[in-house]
Amino acid sequence: MASMSEPAAVGRASRPGVEIHYEVYGDGAPIVLVAGLGDDRLSWQPQVEGLADDHQVIVFDNRGIGKSTIVPGPYESREMAEDCHAVVEALGLSGVTAVGSSMGGTICQYWALEHPDDIGRLVLTNTWGRREPFLEALFSHWIHLGEQGDDQGIAESLLLFCFSPEYLEANPGAVQEFYDAERPNLEGFVAASHACRSHDVLDRLSEIEHPTLVIAGENDILTRPQLSVEIVERIPDAELVTLSTGHVVFWERVAEFNALIQRFLQ
């Protein structure tokens, strides 16, 4: 992924044993974008470009990737939610719109539960709320590839599970772009894969009181749409939108995804 424009501010949020690198773009009501497995802050470039004219957009590298500390694993989604809290605390913010994709969505679930005042509105896209046999097997496979040092195998597997065939056919250059971008630190990738594999908070989602937008991809074979339905059925003030995409909705349908965020904030 290419570099983004110059940020308005750059900082590091500190917690015991870890520092989280964050960047701030634009001005206005704050939106915090929480990335998925193997993605750093640069994965949100289309959203930074599309939203920062009207909002303050905060992106950061999860622990174990990019410019944040690579700490020994395994990680848990609950502790990664504490990293989110540290970022908004460092910026003196509350009531942000939290947007989490895939693993980022699992992190945001815990963030909303453990620090409800941090968040005003919640967007969960292509994510899950419970341990599920297919996901457990897939994350176990990725853990194995990472432990074997097979970053090419990880990139190839991620590509197959993240994008719809229609998108790849229409955007042949996206394959090489994805391969170039998806070379995460393997220690951090394995540690975060453990967080994905163990995430299980479905029984607590009824405690989330924030207005919540849940976005699913109709052709998502990684986090099938039914997993989004389960989340919507449990969060009291939740709305489900399903788009005809694969797993990475915010890349496949940039304009539509950004418009959904804008509409949700009105």
For residue range 188-207, what is the model confidence (pLDDT) as tens digits?
999 999 999 999 999 999 99
Beta strands 96-101 and 119-125 are: parallel
Q: Whole-prediction pTM value?
A: 0.95
State the pLDDT at residue 5: 81
pLDDT band at 2 (very low <50, low <70, confident <90, very high): very low
Reported as a pLDDT band with limits 50, 70 and 90, residue 1 is: very low
Token representation of residue 135? 């996901």
**Residue 215 lies inside a defined structural domain of this protein:** yes
Question: How many CA atoms, within 13 angstroms, populate the side-chain half-sphere of residue 18?
Answer: 25
DSSP at 3: P
Cβ-proximal residues to 124 (8 Å cutoff; 6+ apart), any chain: 100, 105, 108, 109, 212, 213, 214, 215, 228, 231
Lowest mean pLDDT among 100-104, 178-182, 213-217: 178-182
Sheet holding 212-217, edge to edge: 9-15, 18-25, 55-60, 29-34, 96-101, 119-125, 212-217, 238-243
Give the closest residue to 105 by CA, choosing from 182, 36, 46, 201: 36
Helix, strand, coil % over all residues of the chain, rounded to 5: 50, 20, 30
Is the pLDDT at 122 greater than 70? The verdict is yes
Q: What digits encode the pLDDT tens for the residues 6-33?
A: 999 999 999 999 999 999 999 999 999 9
Q: DSSP string covering 48-76, please?
A: HHHHTTTEEEEEEPPTTSTTS----S---
Domain count, the chain: 1
Query: CA quadruple 121, 12, 79, 247: dihedral positive or negative?
Result: positive
Q: What value does the mean pLDDT take over residues 67-86?
A: 98
Q: Is the predicted pLDDT of residue 214 greater than 60, yes or no? A: yes
- pLDDT score at 142: 97
- The domain that contains 186 carries what CATH number? 3.40.50.1820
Q: What is the mean pLDDT of residues 95-99?
A: 99
Q: Looking at residue 43, what is its pLDDT?
A: 92
Is 71 a member of any domain? yes
Q: Would you call the peptide bond into 16 cis, given omega within 30 degrees of 0 as the criterion?
A: no
For residue 30, being part of any structural domain is answered with yes
Report whether pLDDT(75) > 50: yes
pLDDT for the residue 83: 99
Domain encompassing residue 162: 9-265
Q: Is residue 92 part of a domain?
A: yes
DSSP state at residue 19: E
Domain assignment of residue 3, yes or no: no
Both tokens of 26, joined, read 């634009």
Mean local confidence (pLDDT), 155-168 = 88
Residue 40 resides in a domain? yes
| Cα-only R_g, the chain | 17
Percent of the chain with pLDDT over 70: 95
Residue at 132 is within a domain: yes
The pLDDT score that the predictor gives to residue 168 is: 86
